[in-house]
Each structure stands twice: as structure tokens, then as C-alpha cells.
Structure 1
Amino acid sequence: MKKQFWIDSILATIFVFSIMWIIFNVTQFKIFDAFDPIGEALDDMDITDVAFSNLREDPLPDTNIVVVNIGYLNRAELAHEISIINKYDPKIVGVDIFFDGLKSDTLGDVFLSNVLDEVDSLVLVSELLQTPQFAIEHPGDDYFDSLHTSHPIFGGGAYHGFANLFTDAETQEDFKTCRAFPPQRKVKKESNEAFAVKIAQLYAPQKASNFLERGNASEVINYRGNIIDPFTRTDYPNRFYALDVDDVLKENFVPGLIKDKIVLFGYMGKDFFDTSWDDKFFTPLNKKYAGKTNPDMYGVVVHANIISMILNEDYVNDLNDKEGFGIVLAILICFVNVVLFSYIYYRLPDWYDGITKTIQLLEIGLILFVIVMVFSAYSFKLNLVITLAAIALAGDALEVYYGVVKNIFNKEKRKQLFTIKRKAV
């Protein structure tokens, strides 16, 4: 009996993971589209968002980075804004905007071109692109065949870094949640760095080198704050000093704010009180981290958070699953649950549902608590989704195994299932 008990426990564990595989593959066919609103709301949430939004201590401002709003300035006006900042000797200037083609305002283009050429260390954005045929031949986001850059007359001596961020959005108007970014990607065979990484390389080469040596294809952004937030989309204090359009044009700032600093130019609405959603993302700092809400961070501030993370060497590490550790842990915990639940199934059948559901709730609650606290304290992300799914399915799947699967292979049980006794007259 003991031998059969352990055999059943092993087979039942395999059955639980088989159910998980079936559920995953069935959902790929969108059979449950009626539940999409619920799924989308939860899909945009990560349990570690709770740590970002509520548990972490308020960070101090990062004085190495200043963010400047370009608003709706035309090229001549933008050139004037950049020239004002440049005369106060920033160490690096990053411009998060494309200058596609030439405008009818030729003087504006020439003025902007000359001003950009005067910046000692200038980084302009580029965009990784895949042609349709290349995307078919190389699925995924690891390789690209072309690079979108500004017109050649702008920043001829500038460095470039791609501004692509990881989101599920297909258009600017879609719900864009940004939690991670690609540090490097190849365009054909040439390696290219992300916009924020390229700026960090110029500002602190050794720290940027240490970051790239981590060798991660995707890095979780360790968000530490936002700019001025008049609509309180987040509970965080200002992490980055920011200058609005008028602040720069009227030179309403102290020179020390700019000297030897990283200055990022980017769109942040007409002004800081604009509610525009253009180039704006949902991040883990958002107070409302599940369901519908308003985006809380402009793209240029996302880049500022990445730069700050690299300069402070304050990364998010996660459970390295290259050796299958996460799967092994899920199998082990699932097997322990199956053994325990099997014992309850045979010894306390009348109590089975109540006891197993209670154990499952306690286990899931404990694991979620540990995930949040470990992330909050150590910036370490425990990816235990498979473990949680196995725990959630173990109780009911075990009943199916003992009540259906096992009985199918028993001749007497099959006979009972297909034999209908006639009622005595």
C-alpha cells in the first residue's frame, strides 16, 4: 500500500502539471474572450507593484540628472532652449526626440543643426526596426535589420542610443505598461546600446560596463521616482529635478543645477500641468496598479530612471531560471502538497475540501507576502508563477486524479461507470 501511495503521488503530480499545460495552451486560442476585461486588468499588474507603490522608503533626489520639457517648441525654439542649457556646461545632453526630414523653416533647421554641433557630448535617440520579412525570419526582439535615426544634418558628431522600451502596446494610444527595457540589441551584426545605457557609458564608463556585464537580454527597471506630479498619479516624491519650457527660456534656475550634469530633453506635455497621454507610460509607481487608470510617467523620465539605476548600481535581480530552479521548486512544492492532500483524502475524506482549500490559501498568501517583502528589501524578484499555479490546482486536480483518472484504469470501476442498474419493480 505504501508503494502504491508514493506511485500515486508521483503520477498525481505529473497530472497537475499536465492540467497546467492544457490550460495554458487552451487560453492561447482565446476561448475565454468573455473574461478578457478581467484578464487584461490583472495582466497589467505585477505583485511587486505593491512594493513600488506602498512599501519602499521615499528615495532622495538624484542630483546627477535634470529633465527638461520641450513642450510644443518648433525647431528654432528648441535650438534656443538647448543653447541656453549648453552655456551652463552640462556634462551630457540627451535628446529624446527624432528630427525626421527637413522643415520649410530652413533657418530653424540650420539653427538647430548648429546648436547640436556645439554640444560637447550629445546623445540622440534611434529606433530599432524590423522589416516584415526580417521579422518572419527572426521572430522575437533580439535582432533587427535597420535603425531609424534623425536626419543626418542634426548632430553629425552625436552618439546614438535606441529608445525602444518593452510594452505590449501596438500604438501610442494603447495601454502602455513599462517594467523592463533591453540594454543592448543587434542591428544585423552590430551591437547597439539603449539610449539610457549610452548616456551612462559617457557619464560613468565603469558603472555602465558593470551593468552590461550582467548579460541580461532584458532588465527590470528599478523605478525610484518621478518628476513634479501635480495630479498625484504616484505617492512618490520628486526623484529628478525638472525644468519646464518657460523655466529654461526665462533662465529661471541656478547654474549649479546644470553644470556637469546629465540633461535630458524630452516631451512632457505642453507644460507640467498638461494631462496629455502622448509618450506617457504606466509604471509600477502608479497608485492604482490594477485596472483602468491614468498613465503616470513620460518616456524621457523612464529613461532618467534607467540612468539613475545604472549610476547607483541599484539593480533588480531575479530568480535565475537558466538551470530550471523555478520549475524544480514548483515540482517539489507541488509533490509535497500532493502527498499531504492524498493523506487527507484517505484519512479525512469528509474534511478534504475544507482543509485543502485552507492550506492552499495560506500557502499562496505566504508566498505572495514573501515575494513582496523580498523585492521591497533586496530588489530581488522571485518569479514563482508556476509554483503558485501548481498550488492552486493541486487540491482539485488530485480529486480528479483519484476520482476519474485512476478509476479509468481499474476494470471494476469502469464496469460501475458503464453499468446502469435496473430499478426493481
Structure 2
Amino acid sequence: MAKNKKKKKKLGKWVLFRDGLINTILSLVVCYLLSLLFLNITFFNPITKALQDFSFLDVYYSERLNADPNIEPNILLINIEHKTRNEIGLMLKEVLKAKPKVVGFDVVLKEFRKTAEDSLLASYLDNKRVVNSFVIDKEEFISNHSFFSGSNDIGFVNFNLNNQNSVIREFDSEIKQHNKIYKSFSLQIAKKYLNNHEWKNLNIDKKLKNSSVINYKGNLEKFLSFSIDEFMLLKDKSIVENKIVLVGYLGTPTGNVFDVEDKHFTPLNEITSGKSIPDMYGLVIHANIIAMILNNSFMFEVGNGWIFFLMFFFSLLASIYFIWLSRRLKISYRTARKAVLFVFAILLVWFTLVLFKKGIVIKSAPIIAVTVFSAGFIKFYKHLVRWINTKLKFKSYLK
């Protein structure tokens, strides 16, 4: 008798596991089909875009959980505002005279005006310490006029080319087009600043092999910045010696909140949902990327394979637990399910933020969404079991 009871209990556990597994697989398939629906139907584009532009990790930055009081010592920014080419050329002359290690010029001069000022500016841009920039617009390259294109290094200023979200969380260090490899502006500058031994010792090429999550140090306040007028008025310009000087647009005047030219959304935006005004200039994003490379403060991103495994694992656990719970609780089952899922979501978000602080990035939003969906899918699975039992005998833990 006891043996039969034990056998029945063991069989019940197996049936429970099998039900949980079937529910998990079916819910994942439905999730996948729904994701295709969201991606391919124009009506859902705004929803899809909103989901792509949301991350729990934005909370980490927006609440300044990573607050660092120190200013980056190796990078200086100079704001060109809307100055003339003559004024920009004179500033470059003074910068180069002060012996910086690298000068990044994040300005594209598409026209040659055949003036003396253009000739002087071209001679400074041809300096071996200068890294020029270009923009990749679909298949087209927008770069300096050939007159300003010297023999020195050049890099693209786009950030994440494969995943053009509104919020800049990642960047590509290189891209292959027309059988040629192009390197990013930030990468070229960092590589020029570090010697070959340091570069190889830090194993940076391997770390930048794929799209990399940007470990933001901060916004404009984390970098020493000058307008052209402020820099030209400095009596002692040795402050730039052996440093990286980034030249580009930082608003008129510098840091103008409402000036959105070359400005982007980043995780540092204080409004994590329904962002209205871009919060960071492109030049400052490049400064953050360069600082991350120089300080070797790369983020490790958990791969999609592991994300899928965690989705499957937590969905399976949720399916088994809630199928079991549905037989134990009749009246309060829904309340208990919602409470458990709420606690699970809070704990996973908390754990995600803890890992992020340690330099590990895990996308918890899809894990939470799929797990909650699998838990809710049980009622549909229950109806499916009942329908199957009208056709043939199917043993199930559900009643």
C-alpha cells in the first residue's frame, strides 16, 4: 500500500514537471510569434520602439547610483559653438602648440571656400596628432572636403550602427563596408593615446570585438571643458600637454539644456520614461567611451544564449510552481500569483542593478516579461488540456 502511494506520488511529480515543461514551451512559442507580430506590423512600431528604448539599467544612472565626484584627468573638451573657421583654426594652432598627445576633431567641413583661413585650418588638421571624423549615413559617407582630408587618422562618429535606438547605451568600435574596415572616432583617439604595449596588455581589441555597452562616467560636468574664447584667454595653456583634446559642438552657450544640435538620449537622462529633451552632446559621449577604454572599465554583457536560458529556466520554475499552487489554492490563487510575480520582478531588478554596479550587464526586462507571460499562460494551457481530454485520455496535474 505504502509502495503504491510512493509510486503515485512520484508519478504525480513527473506529471507536474511535464505540464510545466509543456506550458513553458508553448508560452515561449507564443511569445516568439507575438514578437514577430510586433516587429513586422507598422501599427506596433511605436510600442516596439518604446520597449527597445527602455531599460531597468537607466534607473541606475538616472538616480546617480554610480556617482563619482572625480573629473576625468586625461580628457579636455573645447566647444566650437558657431565660431568661424578662422577662429577654429587659431584655436587649433594654440592647442597644438601646447603639445597635447591627441586632438579629436569632431567637426565635418564639407565645403572648401578657397580662403587663406581654410588653408591654415587644413594645415592644422593634417597634423599627425589630429584624428578627424566622418559620419556614416546608411551607405553614404559624409566626411571633410578632400582639401581638409590629410594623411592622418580618421574615424566614424556614429555610435551603435546595427541597433539604432534613441537611447545610446552601446557603441560599435568598427564596421565593415564595401570590403573595408572602418574604425570609430573614439577608438582611433584611444589607440593613439595608448602605446602599443598598453593596448595589447589591456587586450582592448578583444574587448571591443562586438558592440560594447558604454560605462558612462558622467555628463559634461565630469570633464574639463572650455569655449574657444575661454581657451584663448588662458595664459598658461600647458593644461592640455600630453592630454586628449576633443574639439566639437557643446551647445551655445556651453551646456545649453535647450540646444539639441548633435545631442542624444543616454541612460543618464533624469527622466527614465517619456524622455522629452536629449541630455548629452555627441562629443561628451565620445569622451565617456574614451575614458572607459583608457581606464579599462569595460562592462561585461551577458550573451543572448544565457538570456534565453534564464528565460526558459524561470518560466519553467514559474509554470511548475503555479500549476502546483493552482491545486492548493482555489480562492486566493490569483492574488498569490500576482504577489509572487511582483516580488520576483523586484528581486530580479535589484539583482540586475547589483551586477551592473560590478560591471556585469544583464537584460532582465525580457526575462521578467516572459516569466510573467508563462505564469499567465497556465489558464490557456488548462483549457487546452480539457479540450485534448475530449478527444483522448491525457493525464495532467491540472484539474
TM-score range, shorter chain: 0.7 to 0.9
Counterpart Cα distance in 2 of 1:240 and 1:273: 12
Counterpart Cα distance in 1 of 2:375 and 2:179: 50
Partner of 1:150: 144
1:121 alignment partner, one of 96, 118, 129: 129
The answer on 1:271 being equivalent to 2:265 is: no
TM-fit CA distance, 1:333: 1.6
Partner of 1:389: 369
Q: Mapping of 1:91-102 within 5 angstroms? A: 91-102=101-112
TM-fit CA distance, 1:92: 0.8
Q: Which runs of 4+ in 1 moved over 6 A?
A: 167-170
Q: Which amino acid aligns with 2:130?
A: L
2:389 alignment partner, one of 399, 410, 415: 410
2:66 alignment partner, one of 43, 47, 56: 56
Partner of 2:332: 351
| Cα pair 1:42 1:291 within 8 Å, conserved | no
| Cα pair 2:134 2:144 within 8 Å, conserved | yes
The answer on 1:17 being equivalent to 2:28 is: yes
Q: Mapping of 1:35-54 within 5 angstroms? A: 36=46, 43-54=52-63
1:316 alignment partner, one of 299, 314, 321: 299
Counterpart Cα distance in 1 of 2:246 and 2:119: 22
2:158 alignment partner, one of 154, 158, 164: 164
Partner of 1:4: 15
Q: Which amino acid aligns with 2:215?
A: N
TM-fit CA distance, 1:184: 1.1
The answer on 1:74 being equivalent to 2:54 is: no
| Cα pair 2:56 2:365 within 8 Å, conserved | no
Change (3 A) 1:79 1:348: same
Counterpart Cα distance in 2 of 1:413 and 1:349: 27
Partner of 2:3: none
| Cα pair 1:95 1:264 within 8 Å, conserved | yes
Q: Mapping of 1:250-399 within 5 angstroms? A: 251-252=233-234, 254-272=236-254, 274=256, 275-321=258-304, 324-376=305-357, 378-399=358-379
Q: Which amino acid aligns with 2:101?
A: K
Q: Mapping of 1:100-139 within 5 angstroms? A: 100-103=110-113, 106-117=115-126, 119-131=127-139
Instruction: Describe the SS at the equivalent of 1:303.
Output: helix
Q: Which amino acid aligns with 2:290?
A: I
Partner of 2:217: 224
Counterpart Cα distance in 2 of 1:147 and 1:115: 23
Counterpart Cα distance in 1 of 2:43 and 2:392: 34
Counterpart Cα distance in 2 of 1:130 and 1:286: 27
Instruction: Describe the SS at the equivalent of 1:126.
Output: strand
TM-fit CA distance, 1:291: 0.7
TM-fit CA distance, 1:51: 1.3
Q: Which amino acid aligns with 2:115?
A: T
TM-score, L = length of structure 1: 0.82
Counterpart Cα distance in 2 of 1:294 and 1:226: 14
| Cα pair 2:112 2:147 within 8 Å, conserved | no
| Cα pair 1:60 1:239 within 8 Å, conserved | yes
TM-fit CA distance, 1:40: 5.2
The answer on 1:83 being equivalent to 2:93 is: yes
TM-fit CA distance, 1:112: 1.1
Partner of 1:420: none
Partner of 1:198: 188
- Which shifted more, 51-60 or 260-269? 51-60
1:245 alignment partner, one of 228, 240, 249: 228
Partner of 1:185: 175
| Cα pair 1:169 1:176 within 8 Å, conserved | no
| Cα pair 1:199 1:307 within 8 Å, conserved | yes
Q: Which amino acid aligns with 2:344?
A: E
| Cα pair 2:81 2:254 within 8 Å, conserved | no
Change (3 A) 1:226 1:286: same
| Cα pair 2:214 2:292 within 8 Å, conserved | yes
- Of Structure 1 and Structure 2, the greater helix share is in 2
Partner of 1:140: none
Instruction: Describe the SS at the equivalent of 2:74.
Output: strand
Instruction: Give structure 2 stretches of 5+ with no counterpart.
Output: 1-10, 394-399
Q: Which amino acid aligns with 2:377?
A: A
Which whole-Å deviations, capped at 9, do the CAs of 1:244-286 have from their partners, x for residues lacking one? 121123x236323111111110011222154311101111112
Counterpart Cα distance in 1 of 2:280 and 2:207: 27
Which whole-Å deviations, capped at 9, do the CAs of 1:50-100 have from their partners, x for residues lacking one? 112221132411111110011111222211111121111111111001111
| Cα pair 1:12 1:398 within 8 Å, conserved | yes
RMSD across aligned positions (CA): 2.5
| Cα pair 1:102 1:109 within 8 Å, conserved | yes
Instruction: Give structure 1 stretches of 5+ with no counterpart.
Output: 132-145, 228-237, 415-425
